[in-house]
Amino acid sequence: MPSSQAAPAAALSGEELQLTDHLTGLGNARRFYDKVGRLIADRADDPAPFAIAILDLDGFKPINDLFGRSAGDEILQQVAMRLRAAMDDYSTVTRIGADEFAVLYPMVFSEESAEDRVRMLIEILSAPYDIGYRTARLSASAGCSLYYSEEETADLLLNKAETALYQAKRTGRGRVVVYTREMEEAAKRVTRIEQALRRAVAAGEVEPHFQPIVDLATRETIGFETLARWTDRDLGFVSPGVFIPIAEERGIIGQLSQLVLRKATEAARDWPEHLFLSFNLSPSQLVDHNTGLQVLSILKRTGFSARRLEIEITETGLMTDPASAEKIVNDLKAMGIRVSLDDFGTGQSSLGRLRDFPFDKLKIDRAFVSSILDDRPSEHIIRAILAMCEGLGMDVVAEGIEEEAQAARLVEFGCAGGQGYYFGRPCNADETLTYLRQNVLNVRSKPPLPHAMIR
């Protein structure tokens, strides 16, 4: 039995059993609430500060899925052992969720001290874990809150720490965030947006907008990327950079995505047959094995051809659960849907992903395109990507083109497809039809480049 395993049941009294996490031997959530409540009562007459922290393991689910449940349990036991060993005589660590641990620091009196203590715990947890003959690595994120007044309760302190943890998760892995008043206001705004978004999705009020994708050599429009847009009756226009992450984090992204895909395919159904529709899947949809069936159901309902649909996924989405993502990609391709890798070069996916996943297209991120005219490293990176894609037989689209000189340079390098404000901003369905009448059905929106510039 691992040294971090819980004590045998016979060694614990009935009351102790009710307060103990049986896997790790640490106290459970009930014990944590009890200890925080007692400390608040003890300091009622003289409310000296103290701190609590919630630590959440980053990337535990993929490790659990990859190595199995028993390996996941072993990691949790090792985490508990490390945390217990890091406690001083006054502090307490408990397990309050599947991969969440809470720490009570009675003798920590400031935000700086709390952050320092918890940062040390995160460093301790980042060391490799032994799983039989293998090792695994994972990190942790943490949120902290401090008790300052007798008006605060254990529930309130936990909610503040959870809010800080949520902020830490949003800003990356291995982060520590201490709760602030500004964070509370931001959390309230997120909640307002979430509630309004749920209502808007249920009422079908989120709309697809379409941005043209062109053949850079001829400037002919070859397709459109679908982008979600939402204007709320109370909040006004809400940026997709705001509501998409909220939808992802609060579990709304599936319903939102299905709504926008249905409306987009209904709008694109009667476009000229040679035009394709590109649509983004979120990271959470790449771990839902029903995603392929949901896409197929929408296509059948709207009568849109699967062969005119391209699904875009990001490197980050691939890394969340590679095995699940691979299954979903294969399901989509089996339907005749093309699959693109979006934002290439900005994530952490290895080049091996391009070999392992059967992508049809790669999209060069705007970060490289924006500096192509005056930054030699960006130029070399784009050239290397294009050469690699040619060898792999993949199409390429460069994003974020905003001026003619960028488009011309990309053609010079051999890039076939382009997208950006220079060719058109995202428009709603009616405006897109007008664009099609003017630029696809009759004349081209931009003159073709001289043949001497095309390689």
Q: Is residue 184 part of a domain?
A: no
CB-count burial class (<10 Å; 0-12, 13-18, 19+) for 144: buried
Angle at 289 between CA 284 and CA 290, to 5 degrees: 95
Q: In CATH, what number is assigned to the domain containing residue 442?
A: 3.20.20.450
CA 126 – CA 136 distance, rounded (Å) = 10
Domain that holds residue 436: 190-453
Q: Which of 179, 199, 231 marks a domain boundary?
A: 179
Q: Is residue 254 part of a domain?
A: yes
Domain count, the chain: 2
- 75-79 long-range CB contacts below 8 Å, 24 or more apart? 75/129, 75/131, 75/136, 75/138, 76/23, 76/24, 77/2, 77/4, 77/5, 77/23, 77/24, 78/2, 78/4, 78/129, 78/130, 79/24, 79/125
Residue with tokens 């510039």: 453
- Are residues 240 and 214 both part of a single domain? yes
Q: Select from 103, 104, 99, 52 the least CA-distant residue to 78.
A: 99
Q: Which of 179, 198, 216 marks a domain boundary?
A: 179
Encode burial over 57-83: b for 16+ CB neighbours within 10 A, e otherwise: bbbbebbbeebeeebbebbbbbbbbbb
Q: Is residue 1 part of a domain?
A: no
User: What is the residue-level pLDDT of the chain in tens, covering all 455 positions?
Assistant: 344 444 444 466 677 889 999 999 999 999 999 999 999 999 988 889 999 999 999 988 777 777 788 889 999 999 999 999 999 999 999 999 999 999 999 999 999 999 999 999 999 999 999 887 888 888 999 999 999 988 889 999 999 999 999 889 888 889 999 998 788 788 889 999 999 999 999 999 999 999 999 999 999 999 999 999 999 999 999 999 999 999 998 999 999 999 999 999 999 998 999 999 999 999 889 988 899 999 999 999 999 999 999 999 987 787 777 888 889 999 999 999 999 998 776 655 556 667 778 899 999 989 899 999 998 998 999 999 999 999 989 999 999 999 999 999 999 999 999 999 999 999 999 999 999 998 876 534 344 444 333 32
Whether the pTM exceeds 0.75: the reply is no
Contact between 172 and 347 under an 8 Å Cβ cutoff? The reply is no
Q: Select from 80, 74, 117 the least CA-distant residue to 95.
A: 80
Q: What confidence tens digit (pLDDT) does each residue in 73-96 have?
A: 999 999 999 999 999 999 999 999
- pLDDT at res. 3: 40
Contact between 31 and 19 under an 8 Å Cβ cutoff? The reply is yes
Q: What confidence tens digit (pLDDT) does each residue in 371-380 have?
A: 999 989 989 9
- Are residues 165 and 196 both part of a single domain? no
- Are residues 267 and 379 both part of a single domain? yes
Q: What are phi and psi of 445, to 5 degrees?
A: -80, -25
